[in-house]
Structure 1
Amino acid sequence: MKGSRDFIEWLGQDMSLKIFMCLEDPSDLVRTSAVSSSWRQFVIANALCKKLCLRKFPEASSFARVVEIKNTAESVSTSTRDDSAKSACLEREHRVYASLSRVLTTSTVENCISGAICASSTDNYPEESIKNTLEPSDRVDHRASYWSSKGERNPSAGETLIYKLASNLCLITELHVHPFQAYFQFGFPIYSAKAVRFQIGHPRVPPKIESDERDELLDFQNFADEKFVWTYKSPEFPMVQDNCLQKFKLPEPVLSIGGVLKVELLGRTQTQEMDGLYYICINHVQVVGSPLSPAFDVEMIDERGKCTLKYHPGSICKSSTSEVESHRFIESIRTWEQIILNTFRGAGPMIIDDNDSDYEYLD
């Protein structure tokens, strides 16, 4: 390798940075950092894993700092003028954001709702509670299972349902809402909304009571939207007056920070025969996505949404097969880097024998 040069030295800082930033897959960026010590230092010093994560998931800009937790000991990134401390901070952020990006792009999807918090109104509590929307069936224990709003004369009146998610950090891709069909009323009316919109946020003040108690208190006609800060609002999706699970895909996957979801039901389509009022009734609500716990968690700092990202590296399981494939890929990158460098040096092409660690050059 005598006389060879790294392309970062040839191209310079700015051009090299533009080339590295063309990588879209976080795994490619991590693999690139394994090519050589100089490439690794370049990736870390320029916080490329963090930049890529922010580019793909802008919500991550809410992370004011990162904490890496190992064996209950916390390592916190802080600003300092000490070069060694800055280097350790950059190394830490590289590990955390590289792992976060990997989890965000490889996690399996599931229903991310863990519980119901409150509804803007409930017609008959607790028989028609928002908690009924957690069950996919419209009948539970031989009785109807659904949430119902109070009746309104104005068909434009909306309603709101608020849920807690399975994790303070969730990657959400789509949401499902199933209007309720009153099979026990004449004509089997479907009490759908005209449209639906979703918001994501966090509690304005962290709750000091147990979640089950909080659910009971808020669900019992004690709705207070101002208790939450909403950081994301989806487009408005039209609903159809049909007895089916209606699916609404978000324009882009959203990183939910704070663990709270609001379902806005906009407008009413169906009146009840006995009183002539408009109602909205929902059978089931689902949130499709990936909870990031226990590997990642957040601790809210202020009402603006700034928070601390907590990383538990021991919580991410790595399969032996993935590790082997990763090592093979890294070795492949290193091999091809040598091919490229030796080509620039004027050496002939290499014959690569996987069973032999030595390489033979052809004249």
Structure 2
Amino acid sequence: MEEVKRMDLLDWVGADAAARVLMGLDDPADLVRATCVSKSWSRFVIANGFCKKLCVRMCPEVSIFTHVIEEGSSAEVADVGSSSSDEWASMEREHRVYSCLSHHLISRLAKADCISEPIGASSTDNYPEESVDYTLEPTDRVELRPSYWSSKGETDPRVPEKLTYRLNSNLCVVTEIKIQPFKAYFQIGNPVYSALAVRFRMGYPKLAQEATAEEYSSRQEVTDDNYIWTYVSPEFPMLQESNLQSFKLPRPVLCIGGIVQIELLGRVQKQDIDGLYYICVCHVKVIGRKLAPLFDSNILHCNKGIPVLQYFPDMRVSTTPETQETEDRSKSSWQAFAMRIRELRWNRAILNTLLGAIPIIVDDYNDGPDEEPELEPPT
């Protein structure tokens, strides 16, 4: 009996037509299913890197990754072309990593505020009473005192300002940013010091290093010279209203490096007391999903400061409400402590002002308790 020869569909339609069909798929599960059809289909999908191409179509920022690291792999970073076996192993590794990444990029898991801590502001009027740290407070008052960040006054309303934040993961999918301008309820007419428009930048630091304790405690002015921005949003008009205004991005953005900068473009409110223009913000949120602990981004010096995509296949992302609530409490423990210290100092300043007319006798002898220690943030 003559054996019937089966023809592979790839051979029948041709590589170019098959590539166009597979490039049209927008569900990563379909690409994974295609690799299960046959060995030739699997090799075709892996060799052409369709999973990475899908990730790039969803989030163009992915194209910045030139290497991937699969933790636990024997050859974590291999240069393509060193040998045929190493080249194929590198392709298989990229397929596994990007197929998983593409799945998480389109995930419908719950979104939350991703800000971990403020890095600084381009200017601050009164530091630390009006520092950027107060923009993480959900209200415009903390224990009967105003809670907001204020820029320095300017005669030119076109002078912009920048607020820079660090997210709770080096890889976050960001969908929208919320900003609430501050209403000066203690000034005549309750003016709102909003910006004319806003724009957002996302990226990573040029050097992979954490801020020291001294930098944390003294920062009040920052520049973006130390950052590489992988995404810049269009401009969004801001209303001169004291409510939490939502600015939805045109598409989900993969923030590589965990740095978000808010550009406040233009000033609309002049302060009566000095005739200068100010911008004041009382609350900021960056809404999205972190990809940790399954994924991370690391800047390796051997790759000339280019981020490397890290994949931890043994890790599992916990999405329970209890875990999210615990993380939300723990991530801001130092922020809450630092905020409390500033509130105590503020209250003490008010008390000293009220009691300024009362003479205070100071003992020259150090028989009392020790002086108040200088507080420093934890290292």
TM-score by length of 2: 0.78
> Which residue of structure 2 lines up, in the alignment, with residue 230 of structure 1?
229
Residue 314 (structure 2) aligns with: 314
Q: CA deviation at 1:237?
A: 0.8
Structure 1 residue 56 displacement after superposition: 2.0
**What is residue 113 of structure 1 aligned with on the other side?**
115
The amino acid of 1:52's aligned partner reads L
Match of 1:332 in 2: none
| Within-5 A mapping of 1:114-263 | 114-207=116-209, 209-210=211-212, 213-219=214-220, 222-263=221-262
**Counterpart in 1 of 2:91?**
90
Deviations 1:113-160 (A, max 9, x none): 111001111111111110000111111223211101111121112111
Q: What amino acid is aligned across from residue 316 of structure 1 in structure 2?
A: R
In 2: Cα distance, 1:32 partner to 1:3 partner: 22
Letter in structure 1 aligned against 2:245: Q
AA aligned opposite 2:131: S
Between 236-245 and 225-234, report the one with greater CA deviation.
Answer: 225-234
Aligned-partner SS, 2:153: coil
Contact persistence 2:292–2:317 (CA under 8 A): no
Amino acid at match of 1:217: S
Distance 1:66 1:289, change over 3 A: same
Bigger strand share: 1
Distance 1:27 1:213, change over 3 A: farther
Matched-pair identity in %? 49
The answer to whether the Cα contact below 8 Å between 1:77 and 1:92 also exists between their aligned partners in 2 is no
Q: 2:67 aligns to what SS in structure 1?
A: strand
Q: Per-residue deviation at 1:77?
A: 3.0
Equivalent residue of 1:226, what SS? coil
Aligned match of 1:28: 30
Matched AA of 1:178? Q
Distance verdict in 2 for CA 1:318–1:213, change over 3 Å: closer
1:296 is displaced (CA, Å) by: 0.9
Whether 2:81 is the aligned partner of 1:80: answer yes
Change (3 A) 1:265 1:209: closer
The 2-side partners of 1:21 and 1:228 are apart by 33
CA deviations 1:302-349 (Å, max 9, x no partner) are 798622111101123599xxxxxxxxxxxxxxxxxxxxxxxxxxxxxx
Question: In 1, are the aligned partners of 2:206 and 2:305 still within 8 Å (CA)?
Answer: no
Q: How far did 1:298 drift?
A: 1.2
Aligned partner of residue 17 in structure 2, secondary structure: helix
Please, which runs of 5 or more residues in structure 2 have no aligned partner?
320-379
> Deviation per CA, 1:186-218, whole angstroms, max 9, x where unpaired?
1111110111111112212233544x5433232
Cα shift readout 1:56-113 (whole Å, capped 9, x = no counterpart): 2221111121100029x76223223422222211111100000111111114322111
Q: List per-residue Cα deviations over 1:196-253 (Å, max 9, x = no partner).
A: 111112212233544x54332322xx42331222232111111110011111111222
The 1:115/1:240 distance shift into structure 2, 3 A limit, reads: same
Instruction: Determine the structure 1 residue equivalent to 2:374.
Output: none
Q: Would you say the 8 A contact 2:59–2:253 is kept in 1? A: yes
Question: 1:317, 1:168 → 2: CA distance?
Answer: 15
Structure-1 residue corresponding to 2:342: none
CA distance in 1, matches of 2:154, 2:304: 35
Partners of 2:123 and 2:39 in 1: CA distance: 60
Match of 1:9 in 2: 11
Q: Could you tell me which residue of structure 2 aligns to residue 295 of structure 1?
A: 294
Partner amino acid, structure 2, of 1:101: S
Give the partner amino acid of 1:70.
G
Which residue identity lines up with residue 92 of structure 1 in the other structure?
Answer: R
Q: Tell me if the contact between 1:67 and 1:77 (Cα under 8 Å) persists in the aligned partners.
A: no
CA RMSD of aligned residues (A): 2.2
Q: Secondary structure at the match of 2:33?
A: helix
Query: Which amino acid is 2:90 matched to?
Result: C
Map 1:261-300 onto structure 2 (within 5 A). 261-300=260-299
Residue 269 of structure 1: how far off its partner (Å): 1.1
Query: Distance in 2 between the 1:84 and 1:174 partners?
Result: 43
Equivalent AA in structure 2 for residue 203 of structure 1:
P
The verdict on how the C-alpha distance between 1:208 and 1:253 changes in structure 2, with shifts beyond 3 A counting, is closer
Please tell me whether the aligned partners of residues 177 and 286 of structure 2 are also in contact (alpha carbons under 8 angstroms).
yes
Aligned length: 315
In structure 2, give the amino acid aligned to 1:314.
D
TM-score (norm: length of structure 1): 0.81
